[in-house]
Structure 1
Amino acid sequence: MKTLFVGYRVTDLDRSLTFYTALGYVELGRVGGGDGSHLVILKFPGEPAASLELVHRPVDGRVDVGSGFDHLAIQVDTLAATLEMLTEAGLEPGPVQYPGGPRGPKTSWLTDPDGYRIELVEWPPGHPDGITAADFS
């Protein structure tokens, strides 16, 4: 088994698409429902398949984040360049943090239009992509 993608319910599809495309996602496709609902499937250009689904169901009303979901983590090549790009796009990333100390990953936090938190992560040189068992030894 493996995780395919994360699905976020969003209040305003256009506003969310503007945010996530500024973050670097591209649209793979969309599916419309008879009640005005839409699923929009996104991925980063270097990914082989979808990694995010935006679920827009206007009949369900406004999204209420806070039901137990914490955050989405996104790996970036260079955090400084990513933060500059996001700021130029009108987004407001947080300051650089070093949660594992000066030799660990660099992170920054961002919040999407519905309040979903996103952690941007730059791994130190030589670290494999993602968290592995080696991170706990």
Structure 2
Amino acid sequence: MKTLFVSCRVTELDRSLAFYTALGYVELGKVEIGDGARLVILGFPGEPAASLELVHRPVAGRVDVGSGFDHLAIQVDTLAATLERLTDAGLEPGPAQHPGGPHGPKTSWLTDPDGYRIELVEWPPGHPDGITAADFS
């Protein structure tokens, strides 16, 4: 088994789509699902498959993100360049942090239009992509 993608319900699809495309996602497709509801499938350039789905259900009302979802983590190549690009695009990423100390990953936090938190992560040189069991030994 493997995780296919994360799906987030959004209040205003066009606003959220503009945010996530400014973040770097590209639209892979849209689906009308009835009652005015739509979803958009997104992925990063170079990814082999979709990694995010935005779902807009107007009849469900405004999104309440306080229901248990904590955050979405996104790996970046160079955090400083990513923060500069996002700021230039009108997004408001937080400052770079070093939660694991000076030799650990660099991170920054960003919040989408509905309040979903996004963690941007740059791994130190030589670290494999993602978190593995080796990170806890």
Question: Aligned-residue CA RMSD in angstroms?
Answer: 0.5
Where structure 1 has 5 or more consecutive residues not aligned to the other structure, the ranges are: none
Superposed displacement of residue 120, structure 1: 0.1
What amino acid is the match of 1:37?
A
Superposed displacement of residue 34, structure 1: 2.4
Q: Which 4+ residue blocks in structure 1 deviate beyond 6 angstroms?
A: none
Where structure 2 has 5 or more consecutive residues not aligned to the other structure, the ranges are: none
Distance (Å, rounded) in 2 between the aligned partners of 1:90 and 1:37: 28
* 1:44 has 2:52 as partner: no
| Alignment-derived partner of residue 6 in structure 1 | 6
What's the CA shift string for 1:51-107, capped at 9, x where partnerless?
000000000000011101100000000000000000000000001000100000000
Distance (Å, rounded) in 1 between the aligned partners of 2:44 and 2:62: 27
Percent sequence identity over matched residues? 88
Distance (Å, rounded) in 2 between the aligned partners of 1:37 and 1:129: 35
What amino acid is the match of 1:118?
I
Query: What secondary structure is seen at the aligned counterpart in 2 of 1:33?
Result: strand
Distance (Å, rounded) in 2 between the aligned partners of 1:54 and 1:14: 10
TM-score by length of 1: 0.99
Provide the aligned length of Structure 1 versus Structure 2. Answer: 137
